[in-house]
Amino acid sequence: MKKLCAFFLMAALLMGSASVWAEEDSAPQVDPTATNVSTPYPTVDGVLPAEPQPPAGGVKDFENFQKYADAVNDYIKAAQKYIDGATNDANDIINKRNEAVQKAQHVVDVYNASIPKENKK
């Protein structure tokens, strides 16, 4: 819940600070090709084990069906680990992005404070 509140607070701050840039005409545009990732993010197929297949005999072949159930359980655990890791990675990226926003805002604030009031538009 705290993360959600912090997210909404940061979103509101970002939306409210958009007009604070030193020169509105020179405000940076988002570069759709920009990335800080030097290697591709691991794909689900590259991380998860092979998808378990039900035994031909179905539940009647109890021993093989039990092995199938265990394989399904292992698959679910691996998928959950991937999901948790991806969520943690995304949260880390968001936190680092927010830190960059705060640093940039600080530089803009210092810049704005250095301009005499009579020169401000």
Farthest CA pair distance, the chain: 87
Q: Between 2 and 74, name the one with better pLDDT.
A: 74
Return the closest-CA partner of residue 95 out of 17, 15, 25, 7. 7
pTM for the predicted model, two decimal places? 0.63
pLDDT tops 70 at residue 10: no
